[in-house]
Amino acid sequence: MWRPGSLLLLGDQACDWRPTTVEALTVGDFDAVIAAGRAMSEFVLLGTGAAQALPPRAVRDALQACGLGLEFMSTKGAARTYNVLMSDGRRCAVALIAV
């Protein structure tokens, strides 16, 4: 399904997501993922836009402090990886910054 804008997928719920660039990411953008905790996700898969980019240190530290791993890559790569992980029954949240 095609959706405009950035997207957060947590479990079977999809919602619009605020960030439009990796530089604009804040810890608050991950509140739903942090609140759901490891019961919903083993880690967060972050699509950083057209190219892979390093998320802000505060985001990386906050997710690590909650026991959630973080994998980041281009949004296109993250979408493909998410589909593979879901077909394998893995539990992960995916946050995709629109390209």
Statement: residue 1 has pLDDT above 80: no
Domains and CATH numbers, the chain: 7-96 (3.40.1230.10)
Integer Cα distance of 98 and 40 in angstroms? 23
pTM: 0.93
pLDDT level of residue 99 (50, 70, 90 thresholds): very high
Statement: residue 3 has pLDDT above 90: no
Tell me the per-residue pLDDT of 26-79, one tens digit each, with 9 for 90 and over. Answer: 999 999 999 998 888 889 999 999 999 999 999 999 999 999 999 999 999 999
- Kind of pairing between the strands at 92-96 and 7-10: antiparallel
